Structure 1
C-alpha cells in the first residue's frame, strides 16, 4: 500500500481507554506464563492501531504544519495522548504485578521488563494536564520553525532550502544564508524564548511531581536508558573531550588549509573542498533509480527493502 493511500481514522478515545482498562485487569490476573504472553501480544496488537493513526497524523502534520486538517488532528493527539500514556502505565503496572512477569523476558528479551518499569517510573495521572500543555508547546515550536520562510537570492526559501546556499563557493553568499536563517529566529525571538521557558518549567514540574530532582533526571527514564545513567554518560562526554575534540580540531584545520581559508568562520563550515562540494548528478527519478540499484547490489534483503520503500512511495526527500 502506498503511503498516500494509507487510511486514517481518528481513534475512539473512550473505547480505547476502556479496552486498556480491560487488558490491565486481564494481564494482572493472567493465570499462567503462556496466558500472560498471549495477552501481552494482544495488547501490543491493539495499541498498534492507535500508534499507526498517531504517527500518520504526525507525519502529515510535519509535512505541512500550515494544513488546517492535519493541524487539528495533531491538536487532538496533543490533548489526548497523555491519557493514553497513563492507561499504558496502568497496563505496565498490571504486568509487573503478575507473578509470571518473567515469562515476558523469556519470550521477548531481557529489556522488556526494565522498559515496563521505566514506563511506570515516568508517568502518573497527575501529569496529564502538564503533558497536554507540553505537547501543545512542542507543536507550537514545530509550527513556528517548520513554517519559517526567508528571502535570499531573490527567492522565498524554507530553512532546509538554505543548505544549498551554505555550500556556495561565494563566501558572501554562505554568510548571507546563515544571516537569513538567524534573522528569522531573531524576528521570532520572543516566541521561541517563551516556548523554551514554558517547556523548561513544565518538564521540571513533571519531574518534581514524580519525585525526581529535575527533568534531566527524569529524562534518563523517559529515554529508556537501561543499564547506564548520568555517571556513564559523563564518562562518555569526557572521552569525547579528550579524544574526539582534538582530532576534530586537526580535521577542521586540514580542511581550512585544503580550501584555502586562513581564518575560517562559522559560515565556512559546510564547504569541504576548494572547488565546491560534491553535487548530486541527475534528477529525482535518476537519483532514486541509482539508490535502488545500489541497495540491490548490497544484498537481497536491502534490495527488497528499497523496493518496498520506493514502490510504496515511502520516501519524502524533496526539500520544501
Structure 2
C-alpha cells in the first residue's frame, strides 16, 4: 500500500482508554510471567495504533500546513498526545512496580526499562494541562515558518528558494538573497520572541510542579538520558571550545584567504572555492535513482529497504507552498515502514540531508518487526549516529551526482561542515542550559546570551550589521529549540561518533559497515555508552577522543584542499 492510500482515522480516546485500563488490570493481576507478557502485548497494540495515526496526521500536515482537515487533526493531537502520554506513564509505573519487572526487563531490555524510568521523572498527571499548553505553543512554530516568503524586484521567493540563492557562487547574489532572507525572518522577529518567552514560562511551571528548580532536569528526563549528566555535558562543551573551535577557526580563516576576502561573512561560509561549490545533477528523479544504485551495491538489506521505500512512495521531497522547511524521518508502526521527508532544493547540503534521513529510515526498517514498539525506539544520541554515518557511507555513490571533480568538492564540503557543525551545535546546547537556568530573562537578554555564545564557539562568524542575525537571532531559525528542547546536542555527540565510523571505513569498509548495522539493530536495547562500547566506538566523553578525530579530519580536509 502506498502512503497516499493509507487510511487515517482520528483515534477515539475513550475507546483507547477503556481498552488500556482492561489491559492494565490484567498486568496488575498477572499470576505468571506469561500473563504479564500478553497484557503488555495488548497495551502495545493500542500504542501502535495511536502512534501510527498521530504520525500519519503529522506527516500530512507538514506536507501541507494549509490543509484544513489535518490542521484540525493536529489541534486534536495537541491534547490527545498529552492524554496518551498519561496512559504510557501509568503503564511505565506499573511495569516498574510489577512482581515480574526482572522478566519484563529481559523482554524489553534493561536499557528500555531504565529509559522508561527516566521518562517517568519528567511526568505527573498534575502537569497535563501545562503539557497541553506547551504542545499548543510549540505547534505554532511550523505554521509560522512554513509560509515565510521574501520579496525582491516584484518576485516572491519561498525560504527554500532563498536558501539556495543565498548559496550562489556569485558573492553579490549571495549577499542580496541572504539579506532578503533575513528581512523575511525579521518580519516575524517579535512573534519569535513572544512565542519562545511563553514556552520558557510554561516549561518553568512544569519543572516547578515536578519539584525541580528549572526545566533542565525535565529536559534530560524527557530525552531518557541514563548514561551522562548535565555536568558531563559541561565538560564536553569545554573540550569543544578549547580543542575543536580553534581548528574550525583556522579552516574559515584559510577559506577567507582562498576566496580573497577581507572579511568572511556568514553568507560566505558555505562557499568553499572561487571555482564554485559542488552542484548535483538536477531533479528529484536523478537523486532517487542515484541512491537506488548506491543502496543496491551497499548490501542486500539496504537494497530491499530502499526498493520498498520507493515502491510504497513513503517519501516526499518536493518544494511547494505550505510545506514546512526541513527534513525528518518518521516511522509508522502499524505498517512497519519509515517515511522520509525533505524540502529538496538541489544543493549539496540537500543531498547530504537525504542520505541523513535515509540512515534514520534504514534503522527503522531493520527493527520494524520488533515484537514491542518500544524496542523500535532509541535515544536520539544513538539515532543521530545512524543518520550521520549514512551520510559518509553514501560517498560511494556521490560521483554519479557530482562528477569526478565535483565529488572531491563534495567530500571537502561534507568534512568541513561536519567539523564546523560541532561548535555550533554545542552553542545551541549551552544556550538552552542558560535560558532554562534563567527563566526570568527577557527576550533581549536571551539575544545577548546567544551573541556571547557565538563569540565563544563561533568566533569566525560575521553578520550584516543590525540584520536579523546580528541582533542575536540566528537561533530562532532552529526549530529544535522551540519544539524539542535539549535534543540538539545529540547531533553533536553523534557527529563525533559518525566521524569515527568514517575513519574506520577508510581502513576497513566491510568491518565498519558490519559494526554500523549492529549498532542499528541494538540501539533500541542499549544505552548510549553501552552501544558505543559494544560496537567498538569511543565515547565522546572520554578525554582526548575528540582531539584525535579532529586532527585526522583536519588532515583530510587540508589534503582535499590541495588536490582541488
**What TM-score comes out, normalization by structure 1 length?**
0.95
SS of 1:111's equivalent in the other structure is: helix
Partner of 1:147: 147
Partner of 1:5: 5
Partner of 1:43: 43
Partner of 1:27: 27
Q: Does 1:204 align with 2:204?
A: yes
For the residues of structure 1 that align with 2:172 and 2:311, how far apart are their CA atoms?
42
Structure 1 stretch 307-316 or stretch 201-210: which is displaced more?
307-316
Partner of 2:165: 165
- How has the CA–CA distance of structure 1 residues 19 and 119 changed in structure 2, closer, same or farther, with 3 Å as cutoff? farther
Q: CA deviation at 1:243?
A: 1.7
For the residues of structure 2 that align with 1:46 and 1:261, how far apart are their CA atoms?
60
Q: Deviations over 1:102-133 (max 9, x none)?
A: 11221222212112212321111111111111
Contact 2:105 2:113 (C-alpha < 8 Å) held by counterparts: yes
Q: CA deviation at 1:235?
A: 1.5
Q: CA deviation at 1:12?
A: 0.5
- How has the CA–CA distance of structure 1 residues 94 and 284 changed in structure 2, closer, same or farther, with 3 Å as cutoff? same
Q: CA deviation at 1:259?
A: 2.8
Contact 1:23 1:91 (C-alpha < 8 Å) held by counterparts: no
SS of 2:156's equivalent in the other structure is: strand
Larger Rg: 1
Partner of 1:99: 99
Contact 2:204 2:214 (C-alpha < 8 Å) held by counterparts: yes
Q: Does 1:249 align with 2:265?
A: no
SS of 1:122's equivalent in the other structure is: coil
- How has the CA–CA distance of structure 1 residues 41 and 258 changed in structure 2, closer, same or farther, with 3 Å as cutoff? farther
SS of 1:227's equivalent in the other structure is: coil
For the residues of structure 2 that align with 1:31 and 1:276, how far apart are their CA atoms?
70
For the residues of structure 1 that align with 2:221 and 2:21, how far apart are their CA atoms?
24
> What does 1:50-61 correspond to in 2, within 5 Å?
50-61=50-61
Any gaps of 5 or more consecutive residues in structure 1? Answer: none
- How has the CA–CA distance of structure 1 residues 99 and 90 changed in structure 2, closer, same or farther, with 3 Å as cutoff? same
For the residues of structure 2 that align with 1:264 and 1:153, how far apart are their CA atoms?
27
SS of 2:151's equivalent in the other structure is: strand
Q: Deviations over 1:15-54 (max 9, x none)?
A: 1112222222222222222332332233222211100000
Q: Does 1:80 align with 2:80?
A: yes
Contact 2:20 2:46 (C-alpha < 8 Å) held by counterparts: no
> What does 1:222-237 correspond to in 2, within 5 Å?
222-237=222-237
Q: CA deviation at 1:261?
A: 2.4
SS of 1:185's equivalent in the other structure is: helix
For the residues of structure 1 that align with 2:131 and 2:179, how far apart are their CA atoms?
35
For the residues of structure 2 that align with 1:319 and 1:110, how far apart are their CA atoms?
43
- How has the CA–CA distance of structure 1 residues 153 and 103 changed in structure 2, closer, same or farther, with 3 Å as cutoff? farther
Partner of 1:269: 269
Contact 1:2 1:312 (C-alpha < 8 Å) held by counterparts: yes
Partner of 2:378: none
Partner of 1:70: 70
Q: CA deviation at 1:94?
A: 1.2
Partner of 1:112: 112
Structure 1 stretch 207-216 or stretch 120-129: which is displaced more?
120-129
- How has the CA–CA distance of structure 1 residues 19 and 118 changed in structure 2, closer, same or farther, with 3 Å as cutoff? farther
- How has the CA–CA distance of structure 1 residues 118 and 24 changed in structure 2, closer, same or farther, with 3 Å as cutoff? farther
For the residues of structure 2 that align with 1:289 and 1:144, how far apart are their CA atoms?
34
Q: Does 1:178 align with 2:178?
A: yes
For the residues of structure 1 that align with 2:249 and 2:41, how far apart are their CA atoms?
50
SS of 2:316's equivalent in the other structure is: coil
Q: CA deviation at 1:154?
A: 5.0
For the residues of structure 2 that align with 1:246 and 1:113, how far apart are their CA atoms?
41
Q: Does 1:193 align with 2:193?
A: yes
For the residues of structure 2 that align with 1:41 and 1:202, how far apart are their CA atoms?
35
Q: CA deviation at 1:177?
A: 2.2
Report the RMSD for the aligned CA atoms in angstroms. 1.6
- How has the CA–CA distance of structure 1 residues 52 and 261 changed in structure 2, closer, same or farther, with 3 Å as cutoff? same
Structure 1 stretch 85-94 or stretch 200-209: which is displaced more?
85-94
Q: Deviations over 1:256-308 (max 9, x none)?
A: 23333231011111212211111111422222111101110111111111101
Partner of 1:259: 259
Contact 2:26 2:35 (C-alpha < 8 Å) held by counterparts: no
